[in-house]
Amino acid sequence: MALMRKLLLPVILVLLGYAFWLSTDITQIAAGVAIFLFGMVALEDGFQRFSGGLLERLLNHSTNRLWKALNFGIITTTLMQSSSLVSVLTISFLSAGLINLAAGIGIIFGANLGTTTGAWLVAGFGLKVDLATYAMPMLVFGIVMIFQKSPVLKGIGWVLSGIGFLFLGIHYMKEGFDAFRDTINLSAYAVPGLKGLLLFTLLGVVATVVMQSSHATLILTITALAAQQITYENALAISIGANMGTTITAIIGSISANIAGKRLAVAHLIFNLLTGLIAIIFIQQLLIAVESISDLTGIADDNYALRLAVFHTLFNLLGVILMMPFVSWLVKLLEWLLREPESVVVKPKYLNDAALESPQAAIEVVRKESERLYDLATRIIAHGIGWQKRDVLGQDDLNLLIENRQMPPSEDFDKAYATHIKYIYSAIVQFVIRARERITGTSGENLQGYSRALYDLVTAIKNIKHLQKNLLNFINSNNNDIKDAYNNLRKLVATTMRRIQEAREIDDTTEAMLILDHTLLQIEEDSMTTSDRIEPLIRSHSISAEMATSLMIDTEYAHNACRNLIAMAKVLFTGRDSTTVQLDQDIELNKDEMASIIQPDNPDS
Amino acid sequence: MKLKNILERIALLTAAEKDKQLEEYKQLKKLLKELRKKRNELEEKIAGEDDIDRCKELQDKLKIIDTQRRKGLDLLKELKESRKSS
């Protein structure tokens, strides 16, 4: 399979080279296709630069109902003349959990309908006028704007150039087929009947897979049809094939997506295959419908290009009408077919390559995965201090929990870290590095902020690991003083986690920060009074010197763990962007300032 | 030509730095406003609080905000002067 993939490109190049040597007309047609495809790339790039997050914001607000999602798919694909950009963004948002699967399916249905407008544009307008006349000024103005500094002007430039290249590509395809007619008549190779239908459908699939664009296949077909190089019936079959072929691109693209992205790609495949099948089975009925609509709208009997556009829109519309009532059923089927696989090592749930296409999606998946990592970590930390997670984060008095003397949960700390933390942490760090290769500015800094926050979390876990060794031993000690001292450390860590949970749950970010700052103040107060608590115990021989040194080091581990957790929470749970996080750090109280609050009468503070 | 490219890049960087400073200035003003609002809320709560422990907690929070506001105002002044000089 790998060998076939490696050979595919050289084979295509050789075939193309041979075809060009055979005929200059083929060269012109192929060049027209190449320029058209480049135009689509430029248009996509332009919209991405120009919209700068607008599309993502629209996606966020326009998809809470199925009909809205459908409209969104139709409108955006019509404007951008590219269903692939819309599909990629949809998979990206779906993978990030910003939209649900039903909304994603609605968008894909809409994109399928929207893509039919391209055929109308070319058949209705593109074939009648000299597109090169319009293309050239667009290209000139577009290129001039691309060289401007303003990102908005650059974006407009790419959009204009994209449209210019599209027009120019269509122009060369037209010219190429017109000239080709004089040397060879491809319509002589037409295959009638069912055989022709199936053969040319397959040709449409292959052409779309090779060119990675159903749009290009369709435009090529329309220009060939206009030049009478293919028959009307065979052109219809190619358009069915192009619809089916576009799903192969989506399937290939979903390989790197998470389970949600894969489900959407399969939904796309099911829809397009079903639509194609319906079109093949009911082709005669559809042709009658095309005739009726064409007569009603005044399309001439010999205007096969426009009739092809009608057919293309009709069978896609039919597919949408038939499938829309069954979307919720389709969602259940997909969730049943493609289930989340179970694994011993906990793998990332939200991270996926599709999310890299959009800064907002990338930030969202990193945020969700980071929060998930924290939730996994709280269980390990709770066990590390000898409690269940529900006890640590619950409302019960911690002194009562200590008195109950429940057996601490037994868990291999290192194994828990290896299976639940390390893999996801590494994956998030790697994802952020990859995302920052294409995402810059504030969004890039936000991502980096999450990475640093997770470093704090993992450092906190390591501190708890060091603390655990003596803690689980001394909380069962007969020596009440050492037992009380270590229980106080447990209460300190548990209280910190409860305050973090409190900050996480409130909407007021200023209040959340204040809760965290106050908790930090309490930790510093505890830190400042450590030696005042331990020294009397040593002097009175209540604890041995060895116990005392263990206690002092373990107290520092506990304090550091709490400080790390608070630093992490300030980034992860307060919803602040990187600029505000930096400002928070600039005005954060230092140790001296905290000391002056804790011990206001102390002249040294 | 190389010198021209270098000068153009420095100009771009300087412009980007100015934009960043302005953004920081605006965000800091917003932050200080939020802190002032929070400060007023805390004062009201302290006035009506009878529980000693709760009162101490609120007073500590008030002191935290006061210190942060003082530092924030100093930083705001620095940013303002930096913008004037550039």
Listing DSSP states for A340-382 in one string gives PPP-SSPPPSS--GGGGG-HHHHHHHHHHHHHHHHHHHHHHHH
In this complex, which of B23, B35, B68 lies closest to A589 when CB atoms are compared?
B68
Q: Over range A195-200, report the average pLDDT.
A: 86
For A592, name the nearest residue in chain B, comparing CA atoms only.
B67
Q: A514 CA to chain B: closest CA distance, Å?
A: 7
pTM, rounded to two decimals: 0.60
In this complex, which of B34, B37, B64 lies closest to A517 when CB atoms are compared?
B64
Tell me what pLDDT residue A57 has: 67
- Quickly state the pLDDT bin for A465 (edges 50, 70, 90): very high
- Quickly state the pLDDT bin for A456 (edges 50, 70, 90): very high
Task: For chain A, give every domain's residue range.
Answer: 26-337, 353-598
Q: Over range A100-105, report the average pLDDT.
A: 88
Q: Is B57 on the interface with A (CB under 8 A)?
A: yes
Tell me what pLDDT residue A96 has: 65
pLDDT over 60 (residue A116) = yes
Tell me what pLDDT residue B40 has: 94
Q: Over range A346-358, report the average pLDDT.
A: 89
- Quickly state the pLDDT bin for A216 (edges 50, 70, 90): confident
Q: Over range A245-266, report the average pLDDT.
A: 77
Produce one character per residue of A385-408: b if its CB has 16 or more CB atoms within 10 Å, e if not: bbbebebbbeeeebeebbeeeeeb
Q: B10 CA to chain A: closest CA distance, Å?
A: 15
Task: For chain B, give every domain's residue range.
Answer: 2-85
Q: Which of A391-405, A442-456, B51-65 has the lowest mean pLDDT?
A: A391-405
Q: How many CB pairs under 8 A join A and B?
A: 49
In chain B, residues with a C-beta closer than 8 Å to the C-beta of A593 are 67
In chain A, residues with a C-beta closer than 8 Å to the C-beta of B71 are 586-587
Instruction: State the CATH class of domain A353-598.
Output: mainly alpha
Q: pLDDT by residue (tens digit) across A514-532? A: 999 999 999 999 999 998 9
Tell me what pLDDT residue A566 has: 96
- Quickly state the pLDDT bin for B71 (edges 50, 70, 90): very high
Q: Which of A271-275, A321-325, A337-341 has the lowest mean pLDDT?
A: A337-341
pLDDT over 80 (residue A237) = yes
- Quickly state the pLDDT bin for A560 (edges 50, 70, 90): very high
In this complex, which of B23, B27, B60 lies closest to A597 when CB atoms are compared?
B60
CA A316 to chain centre: 27
In chain B, residues with a C-beta closer than 8 Å to the C-beta of A588 are 68
Q: Is B58 on the interface with A (CB under 8 A)?
A: no
Which of A578 and A242 is assigned the larger pLDDT? A242
**Cβ-defined contact of A587 to B65 (cutoff 8 Å):** no
pLDDT over 90 (residue A424) = yes
In this complex, which of A518, A580, A588 lies closest to B27 when CB atoms are compared?
A580
- Quickly state the pLDDT bin for B67 (edges 50, 70, 90): very high
Tell me what pLDDT residue A55 has: 62
Interface of A with B (CB under 8 A): 510-511, 514, 517-518, 521, 579-580, 582-584, 586-589, 593, 597
Q: Which of A596, A467, A340, A522 is nearest to B70 (CA)?
A: A596
- Quickly state the pLDDT bin for A229 (edges 50, 70, 90): confident
**Cβ-defined contact of A597 to B64 (cutoff 8 Å):** yes
Tell me what pLDDT residue A253 has: 66
In chain A, residues with a C-beta closer than 8 Å to the C-beta of B69 are 587
* 8 A C-beta contact, residue A84 and residue A265: no
In this complex, which of B28, B35, B71 lies closest to A510 when CB atoms are compared?
B35
In chain A, residues with a C-beta closer than 8 Å to the C-beta of B24 are 579, 582-583
Mean pLDDT rounded to a whole number for chain A: 85
Q: Over range A379-401, report the average pLDDT.
A: 90
Produce one character per residue of A528-537: b if its CB has 16 or more CB atoms within 10 Å, e if not: bebeeebeeb
Q: Which residues contact A530 (CB under 8 A, 6 or more apart)?
A: A552, A555
Distance CA A61, CA A476 (A): 56
Q: Is B37 on the interface with A (CB under 8 A)?
A: yes
In chain A, residues with a C-beta closer than 8 Å to the C-beta of B65 are 514
Q: Which of A105-114, A117-126, A365-374 has the lowest mean pLDDT?
A: A117-126
Q: pLDDT by residue (tens digit) across A298-316? A: 888 888 888 888 999 998 8
pLDDT over 80 (residue A128) = no
Interface test with A, best of B19, B45, B63, B71 (most A CBs within 10 A): B63
Q: ipTM value, please give it.
A: 0.81
Q: Is B45 on the interface with A (CB under 8 A)?
A: no
Rounded CA Rg of chain A: 32
pLDDT over 80 (residue B18) = no
Q: Over range B47-69, report the average pLDDT.
A: 92
pLDDT over 90 (residue A373) = yes
* 8 A C-beta contact, residue B75 and residue A587: yes
Tell me what pLDDT residue A578 has: 79
Distance CA A8, CA A546 (A): 71
Which of A119 and A377 is assigned the larger pLDDT? A377
Q: pLDDT by residue (tens digit) across A41-99? A: 787 777 666 555 666 667 667 777 788 889 888 988 887 777 776 777 787 677 666 78
pLDDT over 90 (residue A4) = no
Q: Which of A325, A323, A286 is nearest to A308 (CA)?
A: A286
- Quickly state the pLDDT bin for A405 (edges 50, 70, 90): low
In chain A, residues with a C-beta closer than 8 Å to the C-beta of B75 are 583, 586-587
Q: pLDDT by residue (tens digit) across A164-197? A: 888 888 888 877 777 766 665 566 667 777 888 8
**Cβ-defined contact of B23 to A579 (cutoff 8 Å):** yes
Distance CA A341, CA A329 (A): 22
Please report, rounded to a whole number, the percentage of residues in chain B having pLDDT higher than 70.
83
Tell me what pLDDT residue A572 has: 92
User: What's the half-sphere exposure (Cβ side, CA atoms, 13 Å) at A302?
Assistant: 3
Tell me what pLDDT residue A256 has: 63
In this complex, which of B24, B63, B69 lies closest to A579 when CB atoms are compared?
B24
